[in-house]
Copies of this chain bind each other. A is one copy, B any other.
Amino acid sequence: VYSIGEFSKITRLTVKTLRFYHEQGLITPSWVDEQTGYRYYDSSKIELARVVVRLRELEFPLADIAEILRQYDDEGDLLEYLERQRQFIEERLRHYRRIESTLDSILSQQREARSVMQQTTFEVVEKSLTPQLIAAIRMRGKYSECGKGFGRIARHFGRHLCGPPFLLHYDCEYKEEDADFEACMPIRQGKTVDGIDVRNLPGGPCVSLVHQGPYDDLGRSYAVILKYARDKGYEIEVPTREVYLKGPGMIFKGNPKKYLTEIQLMLRTS
């Protein structure tokens, strides 16, 4: 027969927990001294404690455990309980997996933006883009509507996204109302589905300029990059690409003065 402290060491349950389980009727001591209130457990309670510990490890609520102990002594009869608990655990897993993927996408976006911030000189550079798989929605109307497109793509491809969203501008001029553009996001894999086109976007040489500030200011940077291209005698191909390295975030809208947008003008090669 063991005192509560000894029984605690045997079962690896704290004294506080044992007292609580007593109160809840889960593990009652074999004998309680009426004078001192001391609890005493005999060895038959060790197995009982093990069962409780195992069921707690499976995160069964105490009420369920009490019910199980009252009715069963064989796992074969617990199938319903076990299946219900499995459902519950799977729900938790789905829940946390969703959070994980949201956190991952925020983190990778922000890391990307941070590394661009450290590398860029905010001057026009010439570089070569590699081809990439994208999910895209062709749209017509106002540019400000593009968020809906990005939203649809993000919901659809979730964890397969692998880079910042960007727009392809098919117009040669700036249009306020009836612009022709395509909301795109790089993805690792996926297939074309209802209205979202998945295809390989070719790479090639381009001139690029990272613009810092609100979207309304983009015109200034377009002036700079277009002048650069003209001075160099480059021929530019539509669609023009506008990559939203850092914009309104998933948590904060953020400060528009910190927004980063890369303008990419593809060069004609022939």
Contacts and interface: CB of A to CB of B under 8 A. Distances in A.
A78 interface: yes
B76 A114 contact: yes
Given A47-B253, A93-B93, A93-B96, A85 B110 contact: no
A79 B47 contact: no
Given A58-B102, A96-B96, A99-B59, A72 B252 contact: yes
22 contacts: A55-B251, A58-B99, A59-B99, A72-B252, A74-B249, A74-B254, A74-B258, A75-B110, A75-B249, A75-B251, A75-B252, A76-B246, A76-B254, A79-B107, A79-B114, A82-B103, A82-B107, A89-B100, A92-B96, A93-B93, A93-B97, A93-B100
Of all A-B residue pairs in the complex, the 10 with the closest CB atoms, nearest first, are: A75-B249, A74-B254, A86-B103, A54-B251, A92-B96, A93-B96, A89-B100, A75-B251, A89-B99, A76-B110
Interface of A: 47, 51, 54-55, 57-59, 72-76, 78-79, 82-83, 85-86, 89-90, 92-93, 96-97, 99-100, 102-104, 106-107, 109-111, 113-114, 246, 249-255, 258
